[in-house]
Structure 1
Amino acid sequence: MPLIILLAGITLLVILILWARLNAFLAFLLVSILVGLLLGLELPVVLAAIQKGMGDTLGGLVIIIGFGAILGKLVADSGAAQRIASWLRQVFGKRYLVWAFVMAGFIVGIPLFYGVGFVLMVPLVFTIAARYNIPAVYLGVPMLAALSVTHGFLPPHPGPAALVGLFGANMGATLLYGTLIGIPAIILAGPVFGLSLKKYRASPLKTFVAEEMPVASLPGIGGSLLTAFLPVILIAAGSLAGFYLPGGSSLRGVLTGLGDPAMAMILAVLFAMYILGFRRGRKMQELMGMLSSAVADIAMILLIIAGAGALKAILDESGISLYLAEYLGRMDMHPLLLAWSISAVIRICVGSATVAALTTAGIMAPVIIVTGADPNLMVLATGAGSLIFSHVNDSGFWLFKEYFNLSVKETLLTWSVMETIIAFSGLAGVMVLDLII
């Protein structure tokens, strides 16, 4: 019965958004209340869970998305993005720009949370796409494929890092195997799948696409790159400090604090205001106007993500994630395929890759002892399954849709398919490695 209620709720959510044309935020709230009541939760509990879910989801994302939008606006309007676009064009040529963004997405994605990498790289995608008349979706999906793989497969991202501990895996081995599996997955879901995306000519959010500026007025390439990638540098330094410096080290404490994603974004915005603003003669009033414009453009994105968080909280409160995992855990199949399947089903039903992965780990951890499955491959199988078919109950789906200004159908045919390719490619890679090692 709980599974039927969940499937009916997701179906209703799709109908409200696609057929009734209801605002996605309002649709999420209505479905969250209805599903919560049908699952046996009392109305006060439902309302409290919705508020908590919205707060928990936005609490970790408001600074990252908000300041990421501000940084993107500063980088775009100052001409820094145009300077970087020109540099990439010179180094890789227009023909290989897709591969340039795949490499950038993979390098940036290793130390960064997915949301940070998204809001840092997407504005650059928009600027280069506009300048060279390349479809933004065609250029952006391969880069986001690289970000998704690092998010789902590679420590020190929260999901994979937690799975390493829960499965008793080795961090270094998981990182190595994840890279071996991830590269083919990125190629298939990125440049190869991207060949079919040239027909999508959607116009992205204007706030991230600056008008062409005279070359003489552009900032230098060094300052432009440093500003755009300062969060990457800070977060990477913090991650390395956490791994290699002793626990009581003052330097570790400083680097870890500066490398917190929220702190890194705040510092990057302040640095950008000085390097791309004050130092180039811009006034405070002008800079504050840019900031206000950037925040206004992402207000609805934040509300939609909050709505997705509300639905996730209802599903967590009702215990349906655990119900699904226990039900599927009784199935007789290869442990790696079982871990992938459980994670995939929970991901499709619940929406959160992290929730899917961690819930699966709670069920599958004892299976490793019984079957002798490789714990490092178990981490990767679970991570791959947790990425499958992102759709309307996932905040990442709405982030992509709203930034790239696509319809729900177009988002399903681009973003959702890309995530699914990664999930199946990851499973194939895990099974091949299981035969070799």
Structure 2
Amino acid sequence: MPLVLTLLAILCLIILILWIKLDTFISFILVSIGLGLISNLKIETITKAIQSGVGGTLGELTLIIGFGAMLGKMVAVSGAAHKITTKLISVFGEKYLLWGLALAGFIIGIPLFYNAGFVIVVPLIFSIAATTRLPILYLAIPMLSALSVAHGYLPPHPSPAAIASLLHANLGKTLMYGILVAIPAIAIAGPIFGKTLKKYKPTINTNLFTDQEVPEAEQPSLFRSMFVALLPVVLLTVMSFIKPYFLDNKFIQLFAEPYIGMLVSVLVAVYLLGVKQGKTIGQCSKLLEESFKGVAPILLIIAGSGALKQIFIESGTSEYVGEILIQSNLNLLFLGWAIAAFIRVCIGSATIAGLTAVNILLPLIQSQTGTSPELMVLAIGAGSLMFSHINDGGFWLFKEYFNLSINDTLKTWSVMETLVSVVGLVGVLILQFFI
């Protein structure tokens, strides 16, 4: 019966979000209440579970994701993202242009959330295509695959950050392992797959975007841009590894906290990309405020998934499903990937797919101490990117910007996302033997 209830809960989520198009947060809460009632939980237990699930899931995530959005805003508005892209492309030259685009997409994809990164890089791709006279999708796929990988694999992006928090995974190790897995995923889904797309020559609708490019004279230097964009990666990775060796050092212990590392990155960005570029503290603060408004809906989705997770636990559903999955003898990393991939294909949202999958598997993951929680974050993250199609906003974003038919979008965008997902799984399974 609990297994049936789990499937029923997922089905209800699909119906509410995809068909009825109800707000995702409200859908999570309604499904949580319904699952609690069907499971014969007391009303008091249901209400307390929802409250504790929401509060317990958000926790420091509000800080990490909020600071991540602020950092991305400063990188975008200052022109740092544009500087990184144009300089890397000029360094790589036309011969290795696709690899330069992929690297640029990955670097700016670390601080920028996917939609923001997409809107920034698309005008650059159009400009490069016009200058080089190369096919647009041949240029676009390497950069967008890198953005997608960063979105699905790496903190401080919402889904991997939330999954890492639930699994108590070390963010620094998650970032380091994520970069190792990301390299082959981006290479295969980006430049290698991109070379097969020269035959696609759509007529681009440039009315869909406004190029608010910062004049070159007002852009920060390449060193400053790269330093700020990569600072959170350096801080989170280095501090997570040195923390165990300085247990008596309060300064090290404080800065080893992920949200402190993100706060430091934001403050550095405000100074180097704001004040040093002629903006006042007040103007920078306004930008930071705007960035947090944009991330609020994502935080609500995470909160709603936390409520459902707690109902799963209180009703005994998670424990029951976990026992069944243990008997299946499937590799736990593959299982996490497969469940996330299934939900992704059904619902469309990578964030919802990742969060729902980890909530279903949480008790099983916690009982299997031999599995690296950092690799589980990456496995679920890779699964959450599987086969984007017509129920995913990213699918339509790509289709409309590049003026493609649905069929051609499936052959290009959907294949690219599938490659990112499958290669990510293979990378995680290989990495498992060395950790």
In structure 2, what is the Cα distance between the partners aligned to 1:10 and 1:104?
37
Cα offset, 1:33, TM superposition: 0.9
Amino acid corresponding to residue 15 of structure 2 in structure 1: I
In structure 1, what is the Cα distance between the partners aligned to 2:373 and 2:285?
45
In structure 1, what is the Cα distance between the partners aligned to 2:288 and 2:176?
40
The aligned counterpart of 1:12 is 12
The aligned counterpart of 1:270 is 267
Amino acid corresponding to residue 384 of structure 2 in structure 1: S
Q: For 2:363, which of 359, 365, 373 is the aligned residue?
A: 359
Cα offset, 1:227, TM superposition: 1.9
Amino acid corresponding to residue 318 of structure 2 in structure 1: S
The aligned counterpart of 1:131 is 124
**CA offsets per residue over residues 128-151 of structure 1, 9 Å max, x none?**
332222677763333443675678
Amino acid corresponding to residue 18 of structure 1 in structure 2: L
Structure 1 residues 40 and 385: alpha-carbon distance in aligned structure 2, compared to 1, 3 A threshold: farther
Q: For 2:291, which of 286, 291, 294 is the aligned residue?
A: 294
Cα offset, 1:226, TM superposition: 1.7
The aligned counterpart of 1:44 is 44
Amino acid corresponding to residue 263 of structure 1 in structure 2: I
The secondary structure found in structure 1 opposite 2:59 is: helix
1:92 aligns with 2:92: yes
Q: Is the contact made by 2:235 and 2:261 (CA closer than 8 Å) also made in structure 1?
A: yes
In structure 1, what is the Cα distance between the partners aligned to 2:304 and 2:205?
25
The secondary structure found in structure 1 opposite 2:212 is: coil
Structure 1 residues 82 and 239: alpha-carbon distance in aligned structure 2, compared to 1, 3 A threshold: same
The aligned counterpart of 1:140 is 144
Q: Is the contact made by 2:236 and 2:256 (CA closer than 8 Å) also made in structure 1?
A: yes
The aligned counterpart of 1:80 is 80
1:390 aligns with 2:384: yes
TM-score, normalising length from structure 1? 0.69
Amino acid corresponding to residue 390 of structure 1 in structure 2: S
Cα offset, 1:238, TM superposition: 0.5
In structure 1, what is the Cα distance between the partners aligned to 2:114 and 2:373?
27
Cα offset, 1:278, TM superposition: 2.2
The aligned counterpart of 1:371 is none
Amino acid corresponding to residue 132 of structure 1 in structure 2: I
Alignment of 1:314-353 (within 5 A): 314-331=311-328, 337-340=330-333, 342-344=335-337, 351-352=354-355
Count of matched residue positions in the alignment of Structure 1 and Structure 2: 387
Alignment of 1:236-251 (within 5 A): 236-242=237-243, 245-248=245-248, 250=249
Cα offset, 1:88, TM superposition: 1.8
Structure 1 residues 355 and 429: alpha-carbon distance in aligned structure 2, compared to 1, 3 A threshold: same
In structure 2, what is the Cα distance between the partners aligned to 1:428 and 1:73?
35
Amino acid corresponding to residue 11 of structure 2 in structure 1: T
In structure 1, what is the Cα distance between the partners aligned to 2:414 and 2:46?
33
Cα offset, 1:37, TM superposition: 1.6
In structure 1, what is the Cα distance between the partners aligned to 2:260 and 2:169?
26
Q: Is the contact made by 1:387 and 1:419 (CA closer than 8 Å) also made in structure 2?
A: no
In structure 2, what is the Cα distance between the partners aligned to 1:182 and 1:380?
14
Amino acid corresponding to residue 128 of structure 1 in structure 2: V
**CA offsets per residue over residues 22-62 of structure 1, 9 Å max, x none?**
11121111111111221232222122222222222222221
Q: Is the contact made by 2:254 and 2:260 (CA closer than 8 Å) also made in structure 1?
A: yes
Cα offset, 1:415, TM superposition: 9.3
The aligned counterpart of 2:422 is 421
The aligned counterpart of 1:112 is none
In structure 2, what is the Cα distance between the partners aligned to 1:161 and 1:309?
13
Structure 1 residues 183 and 301: alpha-carbon distance in aligned structure 2, compared to 1, 3 A threshold: closer
Q: Is the contact made by 2:32 and 2:50 (CA closer than 8 Å) also made in structure 1?
A: yes
Amino acid corresponding to residue 328 of structure 1 in structure 2: L
The secondary structure found in structure 2 opposite 1:40 is: coil
Cα offset, 1:196, TM superposition: 8.9
**CA offsets per residue over residues 375-406 of structure 1, 9 Å max, x none?**
68x889867754564389xxxxxxx9589968
Cα offset, 1:316, TM superposition: 2.5
Structure 1 residues 357 and 192: alpha-carbon distance in aligned structure 2, compared to 1, 3 A threshold: farther
The secondary structure found in structure 2 opposite 1:330 is: helix
The aligned counterpart of 1:32 is 32
User: What percent identity do the matched residue pairs reach?
Assistant: 32
Structure 1 residues 193 and 7: alpha-carbon distance in aligned structure 2, compared to 1, 3 A threshold: farther
Amino acid corresponding to residue 92 of structure 2 in structure 1: F
In structure 2, what is the Cα distance between the partners aligned to 1:179 and 1:279?
30
Structure 1 residues 391 and 216: alpha-carbon distance in aligned structure 2, compared to 1, 3 A threshold: closer
In structure 2, what is the Cα distance between the partners aligned to 1:76 and 1:182?
23
Cα offset, 1:72, TM superposition: 1.5
